[in-house]
Structure 1
Amino acid sequence: MDFDTAADRLYGVPPSEFTATRKRLAGELSREDARRLTALRRPTVSAWAVNHLLRDGGVESLLGLGERMREAWSSGGDVGELERERGRLVDGLVRRARELAKEADRPLNEAQSREVEDTLQAAIADPSAAEAVRAGRLEHPLSHTGFGPLGAVAPSVTHRRKKAEPKEGEPKEARGKRPTREEDSRVRARRLAEEARAAAERAEEAEHSIAQWESERDAAREAVAAADRRLEELRRQVKAAEAERAEAGRHEQVAQREYDRAARTAEDARRHAEEADARRRAGEADARRRA
């Protein structure tokens, strides 16, 4: 198995199974690929729902619509019918995402459903978001400010801005008037959006740090477990060696005792043999004298 196959499998499981699956798949990879896999972060529920929706086969039509809409935005063409198609597609896909999540025993709440919708809208407007969705490995939901692609303004927004601009010949006071309440609201909304994005980035960094340290912790735990197993094996070996030594010591004592007995027996036998030989020689000598 290679890294891409493992990553695709990993982001296809529910978030509750992500950590266990990541650990299992990492064990089937090379050391470098395993390190890359363990650095991947668990997706939020809404991001998982979009990944699941992609695997269900319902997103390609939306991504194709996004390409047509971005082309129309860039060329200034009519996007009215495309906008209506977008509404129908997004609504249908959000419903399908909720169905799939419910079938997986992880139903989406309203906030998570909105995040799924925001991600699908971003995939229509932004090519990079579209590629992220097509990859099927989202870790968090996506969002896009405005109605057109990045750096572009939808025709309806342009029209409102032109109406708000002072007409030629209006007094300078009209040109330099204070922002309206609606403009203040938009400024606050943009500021809150920036703060939310900054908070999301900090949360993402924290999750990345958690994933890295989780990997380090798991590796350390495995090393400790391996050391414990080795230590237990060594303890068994020491215990067995001690038993062997005790048995050898007992055998040594028996052997020494038998050796000592054999040595005494041999000494007695030599002495008796010497005495018998002396008596034999004495008898022979006496016999010769008598002859």
Structure 2
Amino acid sequence: MIMRRKGEEGEVRDGVDAVLDALYTTAPPDFVSRREQLAVAARTAGRAEDARLIHAARRPTLAAWASNLLLRSEPEESRRFLELGQALRAAYQGLDTDAVKELSERRRQIVSALSRQAAQLARTAGHQLSNAAEREVESTLQAVLTDESAASQWGTGRLESALKPPSSLPVAPPLASGTRRKPPGSTRAPVSSRTAAKDESAARRRRQQELARAREAAEAAARHLRELQAARTDADTVLQRARDRHGKARERLSIAEEELKEARERLQRAEEDRQDAETRDAAAADAVAAAELAAREADQEVQRLGSSNA
């Protein structure tokens, strides 16, 4: 039986959360094998419940993975993006047409820029997103801005599939001319015109403050995106230079490999010539030895015959 000290349960929980956070930034092709390794490690360490939670994790689509990667790789930008969504959803209640148009345009620009950034992160990690996957990333970011539930899901960093935004933001309908808006949740009987005017003025100020906060959040997000885009341009330049150097190095390697191949072929031919020369030398040595033996025998025969005649 495994005994845990006071406070250890929370530490273990934090540990499995960190494991799952890291797991969901693992590229989908490697997700299952990595998940099983982590589950086995937890089970071996005696953390059966952690192993179950890890094993229950489902592989994300490429679009969901890229969205998770964006959240984890750019925490400050993601925090601002979530704050922008919160401000936008609040500000869209009771806004005039011009303000809605302005915020919608900024929303499209920011979502487009972040979608490109997510695609770049995926490429850097070795996976090219298809056009359909890029559209799913953009759809997910649109949903994060316009839907509180979607924002909460993305904020976990563990999306399994892309999110879809609602058809439209909940914009409060405009009031008819001369009509005063009743404060939300109010069920009281009609009040005096002065009180109604004060309520309407306060509501107008709140809407203006919400709009101002939304604009500030949008401006901050836009500024940060411009900084990221500039950094990406610099990174692209460095990448292109690295690719050029890599191409030249590969070319030199190809030439060196060809020269090495030719040198090996020359070495092989030289080795064959050496072996042939050694064979011929051995044969010649045998022939010389045989000739020397024959000469000695002939000399001995001459001497024998000379002795007999004497």
TM-score by length of 1: 0.50
